[in-house]
């Protein structure tokens, strides 16, 4: 038969439980004291950081940027060889699109000759300026290098980079700081796009293209548009089948061209732009066939820029032109009757830059 515990045994048990609870309480207190939360690393105890939470956003931003975290160095990518600008034909009316501005460094010793140290230094300087978004300064440094003696590879490289960089300073709506060639203009009452373009010595189509104006009559007084201080000029090199387009004295782009075949060589000398037409009717002087713009084998492509000879072998010559083609595979060859052929997309862009009576075209060997 079970016995009830005596009062003495119950007292001993109660005291034992009290001792155990007291010991547990002491241990917990020690743990809390040792491992209590402290201030964040690098902050002194008692620093009232929470007061910053009540600061205005602008003040917090200033505080955070006062001692910015050092940026991690990024690997720099430099092309070993210059990459020529792609001359991809575009549909008529669509401007050529150039790659983003990237100016890699020129090799110290280019293939085929010794690099001019001064030119190489200017190219590196232009790369640094472009990487710092100082595009106009980079353009002017590269353009200045063209006046120096350099290897063929250096000259090709500089032309290529100037062609690429023009997409940012010229063929965009942006007006970059300190650019003497492109400015912002506020349209005045009574202004027309044609009159604005005439004062700037450029075709109105260029201002339409750059500013995204669909029709000239949509221009409104009070609007601010980008204007180009022309005129543009052209220099064509028969030995390399290339065309350099300049805005005043600054190289804008280089294009590949087709030239006259033996017996119908493209005459050297100075020409001036006589007229500009979109797909005019044309009579083949050899066969007498009359081509209409709608003919599937129409040979003149997207644009016609008529020329008038002024000096050299070009003096007194007429009937020559810069125009598009229906045979893009013949660009870079001597197959025309003396005219200068372009890819159709390039012909549209050049057409939009050259002004009748003002733009000069120099053909040289």
Query: Range with the lowest mean pLDDT among 145-154, 230-239, 285-294, 316-325?
Result: 145-154
Which has more confidence, 101 or 110? Answer: 110
Note whether 357 and 306 are within 8 A (CB).
no
In a shared domain, residues 105 and 187 = no
Does residue 272 form part of some domain?
A: yes
Q: What is the pLDDT of residue 26?
A: 56
State the average pLDDT over residues 149-176: 93
How far is Cα 194 from Cα 121, in angstroms, rounded to an integer? Answer: 43
Tell me the percentage of the chain whose pLDDT exceeds 70: 68
In the three-class reduction of DSSP (H, G, I as helix; E, B as strand; rest coil), residue 256 is classed as: strand
The domain in which residue 158 lies consists of 79-172
Distance from the Cα of residue 343 to its chain's centroid: 21
pLDDT of the residue at 296: 96
Q: CB within 8 A of 290, min separation 6: which ones?
A: 281, 282, 283, 284
Predicted local confidence at residue 151, as pLDDT: 87
C-alpha pair distances (Å), 259 with each of 67, 184, 238? 62, 38, 7
User: What pLDDT sits at residue 23?
Assistant: 53
**What one-character DSSP code corresponds to residue 316?**
T
Do 268 and 312 form a contact (C-beta atoms < 8 A)? yes
62 SS3 class: helix
Tell me the CA distances in angstroms from 17 to 7, 11, 24, one per residue in order. 16, 10, 11
157 with 192, same domain: the answer is no
The closest alpha carbon to 252, from 146, 328, 176, 343, belongs to 146
- Which residues is 309 bridged to in the sheet? 271
Asked if the structure places residue 65 within a domain, the reply is no
Tokens found for residue 221: 């007084």
In a shared domain, residues 155 and 208: no
**What is the model's pTM?**
0.69
Looking at residue 31, its pLDDT comes to: 41
CATH of the domain at 203: 3.10.350.10
Q: Quick check: is 283 in a domain?
A: yes
Mean pLDDT of the chain, nearest integer: 78
Same domain, 350 and 239: yes
DSSP lists the bridge partners of residue 334 as 259
pLDDT band, very low/low/confident/very high, at 90 (cuts 50, 70, 90): very low
Residue 151 placed within a domain: yes
Co-location of 320 and 334 in the same domain = yes
Instruction: Based on the fold, state whether residues 113 and 215 are members of the same structural domain.
Output: no
Q: How many domains does the chain have?
A: 3
Confidence of residue 21 (pLDDT cuts 50, 70, 90): low
The yes-or-no verdict on residue 48 having pLDDT over 90 is: no
Regarding whether 344 and 283 lie in a shared domain, the answer is yes
Q: Do 251 and 341 share a structural domain?
A: yes
Instruction: Please indicate, yes or no, whether residues 238 and 305 belong to a single structural domain of this protein.
Output: yes
Whole-number Å distance between alpha carbons of 13 and 10: 5
Strands 242-247, 250-256: pairing kind: antiparallel
Q: Mind listing the pLDDT tens digit for each residue in 264-280?
A: 999 999 999 999 999 99
For residues 330-341, average pLDDT: 97
Confidence check: pLDDT of 88 > 90: no
Same-domain pairing of 196 and 130 = no
Query: Both 190 and 212 in a single domain?
Result: yes
Round to whole Å and give the CA distance between 300 and 4. Answer: 122
Residues 6 or more apart whose CB falls under 8 angstroms from that of 352 comprise: 95, 203, 205, 206, 209
In a domain, 347, yes or no: yes
Residue with tokens 């009830």: 4
Higher pLDDT, 61 or 1: 1
Place of tokens 């005045």: 188
Band the pLDDT of 105: cuts 50, 70, 90: very low
* 136, part of any domain: yes
Assign residue 328 the CATH number of its domain.
2.40.440.10
Helix or strand (DSSP H, E) at 233: strand 232-237
Hey, what long-range contacts does 3-12 have (CB within 8 A, 24 or more apart)?
none
The verdict on residue 310 lying in a domain is yes
Same domain, 244 and 334: yes
pLDDT of the residue at 152:
85
Band of residue 153 on the pLDDT scale cut at 50, 70, 90 = confident
Q: Give mean pLDDT, residues 326-337.
A: 96
Within-domain flag for 1:
no
CA dist., res. 321 & res. 307, Å (int) = 5
């Amino acid at each position: 038969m079970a016995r009830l515990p005596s009062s003495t045994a119950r007292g001993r048990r109660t005291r034992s439980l009290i001792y155990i609870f007291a010991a547990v309480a002491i241990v917990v207190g020690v743990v809390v004291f040792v491992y209590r939360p402290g201030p964040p690393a690098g902050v002194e105890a008692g620093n009232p950081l929470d007061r910053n939470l009540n600061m205005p956003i602008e003040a917090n931003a200033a505080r955070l940027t006062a001692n910015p975290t050092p940026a991690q160095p990024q690997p720099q990518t430099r092309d070993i060889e210059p990459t020529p600008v792609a001359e991809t034909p575009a549909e008529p009316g669509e401007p050529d699109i150039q790659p983003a501005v990237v100016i890699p460094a020129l090799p110290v010793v280019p293939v085929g000759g010794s690099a001019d140290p001064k030119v190489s230094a200017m190219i590196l300087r232009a790369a640094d300026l472009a990487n710092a978004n100082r595009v106009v300064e980079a353009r002017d440094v590269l353009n200045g290098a063209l006046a120096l003696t350099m290897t063929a590879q250096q000259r090709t490289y500089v032309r290529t980079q100037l062609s690429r960089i023009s997409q940012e300073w010229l063929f965009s709506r942006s007006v970059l700081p300190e650019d003497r060639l492109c400015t912002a203009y506020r349209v005045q009452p009574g202004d027309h796009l044609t009159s604005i373009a005439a004062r700037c010595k450029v075709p109105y189509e260029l201002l339409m293209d750059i500013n995204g104006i669909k029709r000239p009559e949509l221009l409104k007084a009070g609007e601010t548009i980008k204007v180009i201080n022309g005129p543009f000029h052209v220099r064509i090199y028969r030995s390399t089948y290339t065309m350099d387009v300049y805005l005043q004295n600054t190289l804008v782009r280089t294009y590949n061209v087709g030239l006259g075949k033996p017996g119908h060589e493209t005459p050297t000398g100075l020409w001036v732009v006589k007229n500009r037409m979109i797909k005019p009717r044309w009579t083949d002087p050899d066969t007498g066939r009359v081509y209409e713009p709608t003919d599937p084998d129409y040979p003149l492509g997207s644009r016609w820029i008529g020329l008038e000879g002024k000096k050299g072998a070009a003096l007194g010559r007429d009937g020559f032109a810069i125009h598009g083609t229906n045979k893009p595979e013949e660009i870079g060859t001597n197959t025309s009757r003396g005219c200068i052929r372009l890819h159709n997309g390039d012909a549209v862009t050049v057409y939009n830059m050259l002004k009748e009576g003002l733009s000069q075209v120099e053909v040289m060997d």
